[in-house]
Amino acid sequence: MIIRPRRLRRTSHIRKMVRETYIKADNLIFPIFVKHGKGEREPIPSMVGQYQLSVDELVKEAEEVRSLGISGIILFGLPRVKDKVGSEAYAKDGIVQKAVAAVKETVPELVVLTDVCLCQYTDHGHCGIIQDGRVDNDATLDILSRVAISHAEAGADFVSPSDMMDGRVKAIREILERDGFKDTGILAYAVKYASSFYGPFREAADSKPQFGDRRSYQMDPANAREAIKESLLDVEEGADIIMVKPALPYLDIINQVRSHIHLPVAAYNVSGEYAMVKAADQQGWIDGEEVMMEMLFSIRRAGADLILTYFAKDAAKILATHER
């Protein structure tokens, strides 16, 4: 007798009935770049379909994102000026602070996350304070805490430190508690690799390091055990959600982190992963929508509960047709 696995693949209804993994708009978070000005909707050349938005445009976008059933957005700011310490990052009237307040006023139920980092705001493009030509860990913690508090004051639901300084989750958690923001969560970029897949983002956010690279703070792509160490540390320091980034070249890491910790695990399907699909789709070399869904399934299969992805809107539109 032949064993026939194909019986479970015969019709689309049978296939759906026995499906193991789902992608839901509820589990997607859409990253958005926000800039000063009015009526601005500037296309990002390396990220087809993505824009830098002024706050008024962002509010419209937030309404659309919500209407598609997507749970949240994560905001990245483009400051008016950059300086040595990234002071717009913690300014009361900084771009992200204004953006958060505007979105929370118009679409209060949309979960708003903010990226807490300095690289877009510093003139040297590093994620921390430079002392003697090096990124100084502990001096950076004070500034990051100020950034996190300013986002919490503006109304952010979660702050997301992406700088990879040691001890930053603890520093931010303590200051949030001290200042009365006990309900503001921390989604920690716990496992963030020094990746070239961030290329298009650095163009979109104008955040390339002006000297050297980020290898003294972001992780070596060859390391897996270290991912568990970083995740456990952030759990201990008080993170609410643990993130692995990038996603596709690190599916094994997502899987291992999922099995070692008991918090929700997020994966960041980063700019380079998005750009490659869009570029090949435009050339007619792949079917971009199909490839996108396949990629998102792989990230969910690996064990991610949440996915931060520039594909969020595209995917939510497909999911709404109930064809998958």
Binding mask 111-150 for ligand PBG (x = CB under 6 A): ----x-x-x-------x-----------------------
**Cα gap 246→267, rounded to integer Å:** 7
Report yes or no: 277 and 288 within 8 Å, Cβ to Cβ. yes
DSSP H helices, the chain, are 12-17, 55-67, 95-106, 137-154, 168-178, 199-205, 225-237, 251-260, 271-283, 288-302, 312-320
Per rule CB under 6 A, is residue 30 in the interface with ligand PBG?
no
- Of positions 114, 162, 256, 309, contacts ligand PBG by CB under 6 A: 162
- Strand, coil or helix: what is 22? coil
CB of 118 to ligand PBG, least distance (A): 8
**Cα gap 87→141, rounded to integer Å:** 14
- Of positions 51, 158, 198, 217, contacts ligand PBG by CB under 6 A: 198
Residues 241-300 that bind ligand PBG (CB under 6 A): 270-271
**Cα gap 4→308, rounded to integer Å:** 38
Catalytic residue check, 16: no
Binding mask 96-115 for ligand PBG (x = CB under 6 A): -------------------x
- Of 35, 82, 98, 192, the active-site residue reads 192
- Strand, coil or helix: what is 274? helix
Closer CB to ligand PBG, 49 or 105, in the complex:
49
Calculate helix-pair angle for 55-67, 95-106, nearest 10 degrees.
40
CB of 113 to ligand PBG, least distance (A): 11
- Of positions 30, 90, 201, 250, contacts ligand PBG by CB under 6 A: 201
- Torsional sign, CA 222, 224, 230, 235: positive
Stretch that binds ligand PBG, among 138-146, 151-159, 196-204, 315-323 (CB under 6 A): 196-204
- Torsional sign, CA 208, 161, 35, 272: positive
- Torsional sign, CA 142, 172, 124, 97: negative
Catalytic residue check, 192: yes
- Of positions 35, 126, 202, 313, contacts ligand PBG by CB under 6 A: 202
Binding site for ligand PBG (CB under 6 A): 115, 117, 119, 127, 162, 198, 201-202, 207, 270-271
Q: Which residues are tagged catalytic?
A: 192, 245
